[in-house]
Amino acid sequence: MTVYKDSLNPVVADEPHEISKLVAVVIIINAVVITLGAFRNVEMFASEWLTWIDISCELFFIVEIAMRIHRFTWRTFFENNWNKFDFIIVLISTPVLLAPFYPMGHFNFILMLRLARLIRIFKLLYFIPHRERLITGIGRALNASIGVFLALLFILSITAVGATYLFGQTSPEYFGNPIKSAYAIFQVFTMDGWPMVPDLLIKDSDSLGWIMLVRGFFIIAVVIGGILGLSMLNAVFVDQLVSDQTENLEARLHRMEQMLQDLKDEKTYANRTGPVLDKIDSGTQANDNDLPQGIDPESGWE
């Protein structure tokens, strides 16, 4: 059994949740091949080579998954979320194996499934120091930011619908429907050239009321969504991302305060009980001296 495990070490790591260096190298190669395939010039001259390398990587991932399941058993393999993630990504990418043998024609979107394998590059986080702290911090930050995300989504939706009613006829290319309006308003939230949109709306207008309405609407949108909303989202995300360090400092301070309180309590107890014990000792000595002759205070009557 030991020889069998040793023979799998280049492909299968020692623990179910780990990946070997060989798997990491193949993930990088596959990512490079998929990225090169997106360049038209490269794809024209090396289409066949890229396709076969891509298929080889997919076959390797299938074999690697099978070997890991065989070594660690199905139950142990699927207890880890990273393994579930690997299995799903490899499974939905298997139609790519049909590309050289079956003309996809109008079903080229199936080939886009191989892009899912690019997500596996996140597995390389295993080689980053303190990865558990990083992943835990990101998860905690995302959970804490859900409320702010929803609030921004509600503000964006309400603002987009209002902008559609207000500016849909004036600028249908930006505000023709709520979806177009949402995209334009989101650009305003990010303050990416936001003055361009209101300037476009008031370009051909001489109405002071219309100009004030447009500028007031977008100023409010920038303040609420851009300055307050996104700033709050960044603040919550960063705060939760580094909160583990804050928690460690708070725990240390709490322990120091508890130690100081314990020392203070011990000193107070010693100050209170010290005089009492002295009185008891002095009283006992006086009573022993007052005993009649012939009486042993330790053993009783002689």
Task: Give the Cα separation of 33 and 119 in Å (integer).
Answer: 14
Q: In this predicted structure, what is the pLDDT of residue 267?
A: 73
Contact (CB, 8 A) for 23 and 126: no
Pick the closest to residue 87 from 110, 66, 108 (CA basis): 66
CATH of 7-127, one of 2.60.40.10, 1.10.287.110, 1.20.120.420, 1.20.120.350: 1.20.120.350
Could you state, in order of their start, the residue ranges of all structural domains in the chain? 7-127, 134-241
Q: What is the pTM of this model?
A: 0.53
Place of tokens 């001259």: 45
Q: In this predicted structure, what is the pLDDT of residue 4?
A: 37
Per-residue pLDDT of the chain (302 residues), as tens digits, is 333 344 446 777 767 667 778 888 888 888 888 888 778 777 677 777 888 888 888 899 888 888 888 888 888 888 888 788 888 888 888 877 877 776 655 555 655 666 677 777 776 766 677 667 777 777 777 777 788 888 888 999 999 999 999 998 888 888 989 999 999 999 888 887 788 888 888 887 888 888 899 999 999 988 998 888 888 888 888 877 776 656 666 667 777 888 887 787 777 766 666 555 455 555 555 455 554 555 454 544 44
3-state secondary structure of 14: coil
Pick the closest to residue 72 from 88, 81, 83 (CA basis): 83
CATH of 134-241, one of 3.40.350.10, 1.10.287.70, 3.40.1030.10, 3.40.50.1370: 1.10.287.70
Q: In this predicted structure, what is the pLDDT of residue 228?
A: 87
Task: Give the Cα separation of 3 and 8 in Å (integer).
Answer: 9
Read off the DSSP letter of residue 292: P
CB atoms within 10 A of CB 288: 11
Q: In this predicted structure, what is the pLDDT of residue 103?
A: 61
Q: In this predicted structure, what is the pLDDT of residue 104?
A: 55
Q: Per the structure block, which two tokens stand in for 159?
A: 């603002």
Q: In this predicted structure, what is the pLDDT of residue 107?
A: 53
